[in-house]
Amino acid sequence: MVHTYREYFNRNFTREKYANFLHLLEKDYPPVPIRFAETPVFIPEDLKNQLIAAGEEIIRLIKQPGFKELTASAIPKDWIVPNENDHPHFLAFDFGICKDEQGRLVPRLIEMQGFPSLFAFQLHLADTYKEAFELNKLADFSPFFHGMDQQTYISLLKKVILGPFAPQEVALMDIDAPNQKTAIDFFVTAKHLGIKILSLTDIFSENGQLFYQEQDEKVRLRRIYNRLIFDEVSTQQELFKTSFDPREPLDVEWITHPNWFYRISKFTMPFLKNEFVPETQFLNALETIPADLENYVLKPLFSFAGMGVIIDVTQADIANITDPENWILQRKVDYEPVVKSPDGYVKTEIRLLYIWPDGEEPQLCINLARLSRGKMIGVRYNADFDWVGGTVGLMAREIDN
């Protein structure tokens, strides 16, 4: 999106460099079953400032008194976890990049979550793009905001995830952690923090405390860096019988607490009223169906990775919804193809990633980007294209005065 950088990159792009990029990305890690784009996104200054402003608007809502009361019904009754803390430790806001009436690039909110994303991997991804495509010849690029660098970023991750505990007392947990599509993020996290990567069934409970087995030693867990989405285990609850049930009182700290996955989600979007957020309503609160339904999208509240979304909405679709309290109707975001590829322009989405230490303010740290030619951004909607997939936004290095 920065013309000078884009022209340089495209002019010097080769398939050999891209192959080397993929090789370097997986070097020392298991194969990654995700498509990565041929290019990073070069974020211009004006758009960067708008993204920062858009994120601050959302955080203002999250920090206001009464936010927990406002979002109390967001958490499914069967999945309430006790001992919730005051705020999430991680935030992720997805923005589609569009153009306004004056032709200015503008961000529009698509999704949000109070849940960890690829916080460690995006650092590795940015470094790999810079190395494989020799971007240091062009400028001093960074994926970070507000003058943050790699050292301060990793220190912040350690502070929030490890806290006062030893690395062996903290584990990254998912349902089947080593075999997740995004497991490379788990391995990069473990490399920087020294923590264990555990599947749900690797952990067991004794008298309200959690443990895992390390050879002949039983090791107590003090913290869980939680990557488990409960929707994924809703039909596999027998796993809890051989591990532990997170809904029971447990002497363990959650980073971040599972309830925040629901509180900060599509459920929150109808409460946001600003220029960066498309018109969004709970389906059960809809007084009249819009006459221009073709300009709206229907989304289930409790789903992830774009599952269940109805893009081309009809009145019949709305009539067939039996639980309208669990759906939102949102005005479509008209993505502008703005990233120039060798054979046309590609749409992009940028995810802002925040870390929120206890007793401090949330900090915008790094970003994730995705390129798309399909109707939706997700990988499954772009399987047969090139110059699409996961990537990262790079900005000319910021200097703190």
Is 231 domain-assigned? yes
- Total domains, the chain: 1
Domain that holds residue 223: 3-278+333-396
Instruction: Assess contact for 90 and 115: CB atoms under 8 A.
Output: yes
Give the mean pLDDT of 260-273.
95
Instruction: Assess contact for 347 and 338: CB atoms under 8 A.
Output: yes
Give the mean pLDDT of 377-382.
56
Which of 41, 37, 53 is closest to 108 using CA atoms?
Answer: 53
Is 303 domain-assigned? no
Per-residue pLDDT at 401: 35
Residue 380 scores a pLDDT above 70: no
Is 90 domain-assigned? yes
Is 228 domain-assigned? yes
Is 287 domain-assigned? no
At residue 367, what are phi and psi to the nearest 5 degrees? -140, 165
Is 260 domain-assigned? yes
Local structure of 362: helix, strand or coil: coil
Is 295 domain-assigned? no
Helix 150-161 crosses helix 121-132 at what angle (to 10 degrees)? 160
Q: To 10 degrees, the CA torsion angle through 185, 59, 87, 263?
A: -80
State both tokens at 383.
């399987």
Is 243 domain-assigned? yes
Per-residue pLDDT at 379: 52
Give the mean pLDDT of 89-102.
96
| pLDDT tens for each residue of 176-199 | 999 999 999 999 999 999 999 999
Residue 396 scores a pLDDT above 90: no
Q: What is the mean pLDDT of the chain?
A: 93
Residue 216 scores a pLDDT above 70: yes
Give the mean pLDDT of 305-329.
89
DSSP per residue, 184-198:
HHHHHHHHHH--EEE
Local structure of 236: helix, strand or coil: coil
Helix 15-26 crosses helix 121-132 at what angle (to 10 degrees)? 150
Residue 231 scores a pLDDT above 60: yes
State both tokens at 28.
């020392």
Give the mean pLDDT of 84-108.
96
Residue 394 scores a pLDDT above 80: yes
Residue 359 scores a pLDDT above 70: yes
Label residue 381 by pLDDT band (50, 70, 90): low
Side by side, which strands form the sheet with 217-221?
203-206, 209-214, 217-221
